[in-house]
Structure 1
């Protein structure tokens, strides 16, 4: 969802067309006439096509919650993505392997870059503060977010902090009610609208735990968290199979785990090496296969 409340950028532009000033309306009309070309145009080319100045184009972009023209073009490209329900948002029914392979990888790369551009390093630093000070860390995820939670457990157990992961709502409720001050619970949800997870966040906060959300900004879940890391790739998981959103969540957890490692300092590297070395005897030499 776009931050302006519309399902995509093109819908938002059409809805606001009559409220724009004369110059901005010229920009909007050029974009609506040929949005595909607009995604490839430079700011100078778009300004020339609309008969306006480049600063006018920039103001237009920012009025639709974009950071600038490049971010606006990225959102515009995402708005053009429509596909086969229950498969992937970019995939069409007639696509062959060459098309759907390209589309899935391109959509994933685009979602990762979109999230990277919007991440606030200050929020990441605060989240790392909570994680490194935690007495224990617990990850919650339902549906497609369940495996993401267990992947986080696999990463974070290395940090000499008690770690657990759950994908069962009843266990989440019990664990949250037993949580204490100093515990950090990380809830992973693309939509942030699952009632059970919102209730779990409320229970955990009432118990004194810190609750980190990796979810859509301004969602019901985000509002119940101590701190929420906004992750909102343009993927409608109410209709399509979760794809890029899951990969973005995994990348976010890689960012957080790396932050914890760096905060621990070089003295902690010996501990990590010891864990890695424990696996050497379980593998064939690299020249004999893996």
Structure 2
């Protein structure tokens, strides 16, 4: 059972009558809560939206959004976190794991809705659209998202740069200028190499956009724009699976958003590239 649900059970007796109604529904239907609004939960429980807000505060959460994010993380860790090292002892068949990978990735992507700030996303798209150079950087599992982003924005005609070599990027960043963008990708927001390059990029006048978890991490605090991902994995894990999917979802969103704004200017180049690729097919 998820830790947060256990905590709610333990606190039930100290709650008001309306809050107990909410607690009862959440305990019985924890998987439904992350995709619900306060209005929907109010209808299901027969209490006011104000009671839901009070319930969240009574159990130590600042808001319903914070509660949902905590529950998402708890459910993922408790029920579906196939990347937890403790699962090494499980005897799941390959097909069982196939089903779990699908489930955990779907859950992670759905959770992105609650962690994303619309204004920050709009600001990121506006900033990227007018940039001359865009540098993408991530370490470990996050480097996959950086490479994917580099590939996509190169197709859009941007001077897009990425590298797995920290020292190589140290030689690239001094050429950034005001209006250029450094996109720092880190699940924890605490990766030293990512933070140091982000700070270096800021000194040039470039805008730093962070793709990182919804925590007040070092990267989150220093970034000019934050595109937050939900907490869907433990820091100590077998490998990055759901966290990588959340990063790729944000990269795809940025790519499609910019493409929709400048597509008329680049579509001919897409067709030209497509025609050449077709000639190479055997």
1:45, CA displacement in angstroms? 10
Q: CA RMSD in A?
A: 3.5
TM-score by length of 2: 0.79
Relative to structure 1, the CA distance from residue 80 to residue 135 in structure 2 (aligned partners, 3 Å threshold; closer, same or farther) is: same
By relative contact order (CA 8 Å, sep 6+), the higher-ranking structure is 2
Number of the residue aligned with 1:59: 53
Q: 2:31: which partner in 1?
A: 39
Match of 1:261 in 2: 259
Match of 2:248 in 1: 250
Q: 1:80 aligns with which of 78, 81, 92?
A: 78
Give the total of aligned pairs: 270
Residue 239 and residue 273 in structure 1: after superposition, are their counterparts in 2 closer, same or farther (change >3 A)? same
Gaps of at least 5 residues in structure 2 are: 34-39
Change in CA separation of 1:83 and 1:224 when aligned onto 2, cut-off 3 Å:
closer
* Runs of 5+ unmatched residues, structure 1: 1-6, 285-290
Q: Does 1:209 align with 2:201?
A: no
Mapped to 2, the partners of 1:215 and 1:241 lie a distance apart of 17
2:97 is aligned to 100
TM-aligned CA distance change 1:57 to 1:114, over 3 Å: farther
Q: CA deviation at 1:62?
A: 5.0
Matched, 1:182 2:174: no
Deviation of the 1:96 alpha carbon: 1.8
Name the CA distance, whole Å, in 2 between partners of 1:20 and 1:168: 55
Deviations 1:95-147 (A, max 9, x none): 22232211111010011011034423322221111111111111101111112
Q: For 2:64 and 2:76, locate their aligned partners in 1 and report how far apart those are by CA, in whole Å.
A: 13
- Greater helix share, structure number: 2
Is this contact kept in 2: 1:213–1:229, CA < 8 A?
Answer: yes
Question: Secondary structure in 2 aligned to 1:140?
Answer: strand
Instruction: Write the distance in 1 (CA, Å) between the matches of 2:97 and 2:241.
Output: 13
Q: In 2 relative to 1, CA 83–145 (structure 1 residues): closer, same or farther, beyond 3 Å?
A: closer
Which residue does the alignment assign to 1:171?
A: 168
Candidates 85, 90, 113, aligned match of 2:110: 113
Match of 1:219 among 217, 220, 225: 217
Q: Name which of 147, 152, 158 aligns with 1:150.
A: 147
Q: 1:169 & 1:19 partners in 2: Cα distance?
A: 54
Preserved CA contact (<8 Å) 2:73 2:233: no
Could you tell me whether the CA contact under 8 Å between 2:213 and 2:228 is conserved in 1?
yes
2:232 equivalent in structure 1: 234
